């Protein structure tokens, strides 16, 4: 993964909503939450609003995307003190759910990415998987959920992400207060 530079700004969380079906079991595919910040982030070259994919969109096999995070820089650590980004290629559900990959440990509410570059690692959970969208706009297609217990970038165990396109309606319901709003 390569380092991204910029100034660190800490914005406290005002409220949050966990998906109502999340039960702590990562491979159920409901590993998603929304947060409301205490104030708006200052937009800079490095800080921009995130676009979302269309509801139900399936990211094509082989799509080159980028994961970002402050997690471990390798299986044995240490954690990074700078934001890192890494290139990952999407593996479609047909490939990722093969018995010699994740098998039944992944479902269609998740997507896998890795093997063409790097991977997410311990400490990257909750970070975005940004993929090219329409008109070169980047979209958040995934949220880091889990990876191999054997180590980062382990063969045939690519990083597993919550598939954002499966939750567009839920995101809109939370945003408009139809689910009771943020906590």
- Asked if CATH classification 2.40.10.10 holds for the domain at 2-9+50-166, the reply, yes or no, is yes
Q: How far apart are CA 89 and CA 65, in angstroms?
A: 6
Q: What pLDDT was estimated at residue 8?
A: 73
What is residue 74's predicted lDDT score, i.e. its pLDDT? 85
Tell how strand 13-18 and strand 84-91 pair up. unpaired
Whole-model pTM? Answer: 0.91
Q: How far apart are CA 154 and CA 23, in angstroms?
A: 26
Q: DSSP readout, 36-99? A: EESSPPPP-SS--PPB-PPTT--PPTT-EEEEEESSBSSTT--B-SS-EEEEEEEE-HHHHTST
Q: What is the pLDDT of residues 123-159, one digit of tens each?
A: 999 999 999 987 778 999 999 999 999 999 899 999 9
pLDDT beneath 50, residues of the chain: 183
The domain spans of the chain are 2-9+50-166
Rounded-to-integer distance, Cα 78 and Cα 144, Å: 19
Q: Which tokens belong to 98?
A: 């093969």
């Amino acid at each position: 993964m390569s380092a991204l530079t910029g100034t660190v700004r800490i914005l406290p969380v005002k409220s949050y909503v966990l998906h109502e079906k999340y039960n702590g079991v990562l491979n159920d595919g409901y590993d998603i939450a929304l947060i409301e910040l205490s104030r708006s982030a200052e937009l800079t070259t490095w800080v921009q609003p995130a676009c979302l994919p269309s509801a139900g969109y399936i990211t094509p096999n082989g799509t080159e995307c980028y994961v970002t995070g402050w997690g471990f820089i390798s299986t044995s650590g240490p954690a990074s003190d700078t934001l890192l980004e890494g290139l990952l290629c999407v593996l479609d559900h047909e490939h990722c759910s093969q018995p010699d990959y994740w098998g039944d440990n992944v479902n269609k509410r998740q997507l896998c990415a890795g093997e063409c570059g790097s991977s997410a690692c311990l400490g990257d959970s909750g970070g975005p998987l940004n993929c090219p969208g329409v008109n070169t706009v980047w979209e958040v297609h995934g949220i880091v959920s889990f990876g191999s217990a054997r180590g980062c970038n382990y063969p045939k165990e690519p990083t597993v992400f919550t598939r954002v396109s499966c939750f567009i309606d839920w995101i809109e319901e939370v945003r408009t207060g139809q689910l009771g709003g943020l906590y």
